[in-house]
Structure 1
Amino acid sequence: MSVETPEQKLLRVRERIRDFPDFPVPGVCFRDISPLLKDPAAFCAAIDLLEDHLKKTYAQIDVIAGLDSRGFLFGPVLAQRLGIGFVLIRKRGKLPGATESVSYSSEYGKADLEMQADAVEPRQKVVIIDDLLATGGTLYGACTLMKKLNAEILECLVLIELKMLEGAKKLGPFHLYSLLQY
């Protein structure tokens, strides 16, 4: 069995992203990751590529924080591979105990994110992961929440970036890495 190159892995991942034109509204092309999740080899290739990027880029990562809900699909697997912890960033009202929250604006209106107050320690080095970056509101909200907890944000990591929506600009000083760009 031959070993795939990073380029072959990236192609395998890209081939498993399905387009749905005019969903959820006319003029929007929805990038569906369901075929990727259904294909173990493609999912593994995506995790391999994200893991390789993080290992090459950062000497130390303390925790990966995943955004509700698709960040929960990639984040725990990636954290396990790196031998580090995973924490949840959820929609308001979904976590028990003391929490910190932040309000933010997204393409769908105003929303709230929250984390358990003890999820990260001050100055812990954190990577925030989600499946897709569109306008950047949710990821920026997650960064704001991490800053409230005095974490050091290394980067925002996404599988897919929709470049024409310029979400990376909204992130401002927070670094972004995207595996695929459309």
Structure 2
Amino acid sequence: MTVLDDDEPSMMRVAGLVVDVPDHPSPGILFKDITPVLADAEAFTTVATELAALVGHAELVVAIEARGFLVGAAVALVAGTGVVP
């Protein structure tokens, strides 16, 4: 499996779970709701594993903003490192 290969079936499945919410929180913004990805253990594991492969041998994962805290913590766990929220 290639890291973050959009054609890979598991990544296509993850992408299919992301919900587009137009005009949220304001007109002209297309919000990407990742809640369904977080609720699906297999999809969330795929995301964390793929992103952890990009981390390499980092000492820490820096997680920015609300969704970043959730995803960053999972990535750090898979990568075997700590997280800075």
TM-score, structure 2 as length reference: 0.80
The answer to whether structure 1 residue 77 and structure 2 residue 68 are counterparts is no
Amino acid at match of 1:74: V
Identity %: 34
Q: Please state whether the residue corresponding to 1:13 is helix, strand or coil.
A: helix
- Name stretches of at least 5 consecutive residues in structure 2 with no aligned partner: 3-7
Tell me the equivalent position of 2:5.
none
Give 1:18-37 correspondences, 5 Å limit. Answer: 18-37=19-38
CA contact (8 A) 1:12 1:45 kept: no
Give 1:102-117 correspondences, 5 Å limit. Answer: none
Q: Write the deviation string for residues 2-42 of structure 1: whole angstroms up to 9, x where unpaired.
A: xxx55112101101110111222222211111111111111
Tell me the equivalent position of 1:66.
63
CA contact (8 A) 1:19 1:32 kept: yes
- What is the rounded CA distance, in whole Å, between the counterparts of 2:74 and 2:33 in structure 1? 20
Q: Write the deviation string for residues 44-69 of structure 1: whole angstroms up to 9, x where unpaired.
A: 111121122333xxxx3111111132
CA contact (8 A) 1:23 1:29 kept: yes
Higher relative contact order, chain-length normalized (CA < 8 Å, sep 6+) = 2
- What is the rounded CA distance, in whole Å, between the counterparts of 2:14 and 2:43 in structure 1? 5
Tell me the equivalent position of 1:176.
none
The answer to whether structure 1 residue 16 and structure 2 residue 42 are counterparts is no
Runs (4+) of structure 1 exceeding 2 A deviation are 52-55
Higher fraction of helix: 2
CA contact (8 A) 1:9 1:46 kept: no
Higher fraction of strand: 1
TM-score, structure 1 as length reference: 0.40
CA contact (8 A) 1:9 1:49 kept: no
Amino acid at match of 2:24: F
- What is the rounded CA distance, in whole Å, between the counterparts of 1:70 and 1:42 in structure 2? 15
